Amino acid sequence: MDGDEISERNIPLSSVFTLRDVGRYKVKVTEAFLRSKFGDRIDIESYSLFSDKARIEAMTGPEMLFLGVDDPWTRLSITNLRVEANKPYMNLGFYGWEASYMLVLPHRTACWACLWRPRDDERVQKLKREGKCPEPEPNVPGAVIPGTVQRLIGFAAGEAVKFFAGIGRLAQYYKFNTFTGDEDLRFLDSPRFFKPDPECPVCRREEEIDVSEITWPRDRRNRPR
């Protein structure tokens, strides 16, 4: 789901987009590429609209949701929906050479808002809603480096396989800098994993919650927390 159209700046960041795709919806081009590659072996639907135009069920229904929006207030809103529905999600963030991955299990781990909830003075104008999305130049802060995207998506894909198969050691958080080589990797069964913030406006509960009553795909309740 994405309301963005392909621009020339997107082409170096993707192995799918070409110059002839400029002006087309990203999700439609990606869907066509995947269908041409996998045929009937893949079941996929795409929606060329922004999340604020989508039905709430589109955010709360999936067993797993991969969240990669670039507006902090949209990310906060979707985080709130997933936490209210007690549904896990994987958060992907990009900024220049840096990228971060985060697995969120509501009320068991920190959610995105626990660590990075935006302040009122950081609110941005949603120019995308008007079809006006200024694109940063490729070499200025905020632009995404192709290698950063590929590395993070590859990592998230591996974690998704482990999550749904119920095998392997799940990472809760991973942040890296492609330029400096700095990394921060935290696993769910490690004492270093990020716990929910008691003051988080999204995760905070007025009453205690019995996490043993929350079930996850492949029943991960008995796996290390």
- Whether residue 99 sits in one domain with residue 170: yes
Joined tokens for residue 215:
């079930």
Instruction: Answer yes or no: is 57 within a domain.
Output: no
- CA 203 to centroid of chain Cα atoms: 18
Number of compact structural domains in the chain: 2
Query: Going residue by residue through the chain (225 aa), what tens digit of pLDDT does each one get?
Result: 999 999 998 888 788 999 999 999 999 999 999 999 999 898 888 999 888 788 889 899 999 999 988 778 888 889 999 999 999 999 999 877 889 999 999 999 999 999 988 776 555 444 444 454 444 444 444 556 777 888 899 999 999 999 999 999 999 999 999 889 999 999 999 999 999 999 898 988 655 545 444 444 444 434 433
Q: Mark whether 31 and 110 lie in a shared domain.
A: no
Residues 117 and 206 in one domain: yes
Q: Is residue 56 a part of any domain in this protein?
A: no
| Number of Cα atoms under 13 Å in the Cβ half of residue 68 | 16
| C-alpha Rg value of the chain to the nearest Å | 18
- Length of the chain, in residues: 225
CATH number at residue 159: 3.40.50.720
Do residues 143 and 172 share a domain?
yes
The candidate with the shortest Cα–Cα distance to 170, out of 184, 181, 182, 156, is 156
Domain span at residue 4 reads 1-49
Q: Is residue 206 part of a domain?
A: yes
Q: Is residue 59 part of a domain?
A: no
Sheet holding 98-104, edge to edge: 65-67, 89-95, 98-104, 171-177, 183-187
Contact 88, 66 (CB under 8 A): no
Angstrom distance (rounded) from CA 89 to CA 27: 20
- From the list 111, 105, 127, the residue with the least C-alpha distance to 201 is 111
